[in-house]
């Protein structure tokens, strides 16, 4: 993520505060769609897709990096078709229940929000983001916690990779870690991560760290950033209150 | 510069790690701290840096190591950890290098100047904007040393600085250590490196000092080294 965030596209160059506001507003707008309003929701995907294109970050990178989280998001609403069986629409000869539509809507909302959040993280350095949050008067202790968590997630995933490699080398032919080893694997992972986290924290304290990070000086927001934010808000409102899909459909059918 | 006065430490009461340890290190001295596994080398470092509490007194520049003086003590002492991965936690080398100076009140411009000077001193300016996780083992070690030099410490402590390095990078690190003018305290099992970089050696055994004196004399004493589960440096065999 750090390497992605170090890019130099026009999206990367935007003020972190503007990107943060745009992302928050996007998420609020996406969440505000009704559970059966799939047609209205779908055009909202255009915003992240467009920004992925401009920032030069392939969309597949997003899905690859989020492959462990996406199933959780997709699991939301999985049982809707069982509880809401009332027919909602008919496509050709097939009747689709309200539960099926609401399930797809919920899944889409989750996926769009994840894409937007990923885009923000992939085009904004974490300390720049924290600096932006600091300007919004978010408490410093919360930001320190955020930064430390961000750093320690990397530490933990490195330990997982090392342990998984060591396991595979002595367990040929197995796919993943056998469930009988999950307990000890997780226990060891926790102990090793704690040891390493303690070492890291000691290294930080030895270099004068006192529960406060010195964030990069965030570039001030310019007119360009304001224009970006205004365009984003206008586009979101347009997509929220005008059913673009239905409008296009009616034009084509006519 | 550094003084240990009757220092004792134990993790468990019945198994002391350091026992009544007393020694001092003068300004500009280069001292090698050697000993078998479990002799107490790393504990000496941790006690000196205030990472472990101890009985007795530890002084740095006349200031006693204690809860209220840690900020000042750690400004004077730069510690290069054995595992560079445990030391470098920011995304890039540059950010890691300015981390310490910023914490000690330097402006961003001053911190950057310190970082540039350290990179130039080590001959690694090309690493400045590299991502930490993409560095090789040798580059990482050099960068870790650079992060400490950027703090402009008065003394440098190193824990196994040549561990896991190939011969080329090991020689590079040795040359760098030799070029540093600060007071140096280096723990290592690499006795050839200690012989190359230190004029004085303290040999620890079971938490006490088994020998303290001229590096060449101690490192040539086969009987002394073997009695303390060590061997002559390869260059003297």
Chain A residues whose CB is inside 8 A of the B74 CB are: 205-208
pLDDT in tens, B10-57: 988 778 899 999 999 999 999 999 999 989 999 999 999 998 999 999
DSSP B82: S
Three-class SS state of B46: helix
- CA A228 – CA A205 distance, rounded (Å): 40
pLDDT computed for residue B200 by the predictor: 97
Which range has highest mean pLDDT (A93-107, B66-80, B195-209)? B195-209
pLDDT computed for residue B223 by the predictor: 95
Which residue of chain A has the CA closest to B147? A207
Decide if B99 and A205 are in contact by the 8 Å CB cutoff.
Answer: no
Rounded to the nearest angstrom, the minimum Cα separation between A17 and chain B is 21
pLDDT at A217 over 70: no
pLDDT in tens, B181-210: 999 999 999 999 999 999 999 999 999 999
pTM over 0.90: no
Rounded to the nearest angstrom, the minimum Cα separation between B86 and chain A is 5
Question: CA dihedral in degrees (B58, B61, B62, B66; nearest 10)?
Answer: -40
- What is the secondary structure of B159-190 as a DSSP string? ESTTTT--HHHHHHHHHHHHH--SEEEEE-S-
Which one of B73, B103, B108, B144 would you mutate to disrupt binding with A, by most A Cβ within 10 Å of its Cβ?
Answer: B103
Write down the domain spans for chain A. Answer: 2-124+222-253, 134-206
Mean of the per-residue pLDDT values of chain A: 82
> How many residues are present in chain A?
254
- CA A100 – CA A77 distance, rounded (Å): 9
- CA B116 – CA B177 distance, rounded (Å): 18
Burial B18-27 (b: 16+ CB within 10 A, else e): bbebebebee
Percent of chain B residues past pLDDT 90, beyond the cut: 71
The residue written with tokens 């006065």 in the block is B5
Which one of A1, A125, A208 would you mutate to disrupt binding with B, by most B Cβ within 10 Å of its Cβ?
Answer: A208
Rounded to the nearest angstrom, the minimum Cα separation between B50 and chain A is 9
pLDDT at B7 over 90: yes
């Amino acid at each position: 993520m750090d390497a992605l965030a170090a890019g130099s596209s026009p999206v990367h160059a935007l003020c972190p505060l503007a990107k943060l506001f745009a992302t928050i507003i996007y998420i609020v707008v996406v969440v505000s769609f009704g559970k059966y309003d799939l047609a209205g929701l779908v055009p909202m995907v255009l915003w992240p897709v467009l920004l992925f294109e401009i920032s030069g970050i392939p969309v597949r990178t997003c899905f690859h990096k989020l492959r462990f989280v996406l199933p959780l998001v997709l699991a939301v609403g999985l049982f809707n078709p069982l509880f809401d069986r009332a027919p909602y629409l008919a496509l050709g000869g097939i009747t689709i229940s309200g539960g099926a539509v609401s399930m797809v809507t919920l899944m889409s909302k989750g996926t769009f929000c994840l894409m937007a959040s990923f885009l923000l993280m992939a085009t904004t350095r974490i300390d720049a983001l924290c600096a932006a949050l600091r300007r919004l008067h978010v408490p410093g202790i919360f930001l320190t916690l955020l930064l430390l968590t961000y750093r320690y997630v990397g530490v933990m995933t490195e330990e997982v990779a090392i342990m998984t490699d060591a396991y595979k080398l002595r367990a040929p032919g197995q796919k993943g870690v056998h469930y009988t080893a999950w307990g000890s694997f997780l226990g060891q992972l926790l102990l090793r991560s704690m040891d390493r986290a303690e070492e890291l924290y000691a290294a930080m304290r030895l270099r004068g760290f006192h529960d406060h990070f010195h964030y990069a000086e965030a570039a001030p927001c310019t007119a360009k950033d304001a224009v970006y934010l205004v365009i984003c808000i206008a586009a979101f409102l347009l997509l929220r209150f005008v059913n673009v899909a239905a409008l296009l459909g009616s034009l084509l059918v006519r | 510069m550094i003084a240990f006065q009757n220092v004792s430490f134990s993790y468990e009461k019945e198994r002391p790690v350091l026992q009544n340890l007393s020694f001092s290190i003068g300004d500009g001295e280069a001292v090698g701290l050697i000993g078998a596994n479990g002799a107490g080398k790393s504990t000496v470092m941790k006690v000196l840096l205030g990472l472990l509490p101890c009985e007795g007194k530890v002084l740095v520049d006349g200031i006693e190591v204690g809860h209220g003086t840690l900020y000042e003590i750690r400004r004077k002492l730069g510690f290069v950890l054995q595992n560079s991965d445990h030391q470098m936690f920011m995304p890039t080398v540059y950010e890691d290098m300015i981390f310490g100076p910023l914490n000690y009140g330097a402006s961003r411009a001053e911190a950057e100047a310190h970082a540039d000077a350290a990179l130039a001193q080590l001959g690694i300016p090309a690493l400045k904007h590299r991502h930490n996780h993409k560095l090789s083992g040798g580059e990482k070690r050099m960068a870790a040393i650079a992060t400490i030099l950027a703090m402009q410490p008065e003394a440098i402590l190193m824990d196994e600085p040549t561990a896991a390095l190939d011969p080329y990078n090991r020689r590079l690190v040795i040359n760098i250590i030799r070029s540093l003018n600060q007071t140096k305290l280096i723990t290592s099992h690499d006795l050839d490196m200690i012989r190359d970089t230190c004029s004085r050696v303290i040999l620890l055994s079971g938490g006490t000092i088994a020998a303290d004196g001229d590096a060449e004399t101690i490192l040539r004493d086969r009987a002394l080294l073997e009695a303390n589960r060590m061997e002559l440096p390869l260059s003297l065999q």
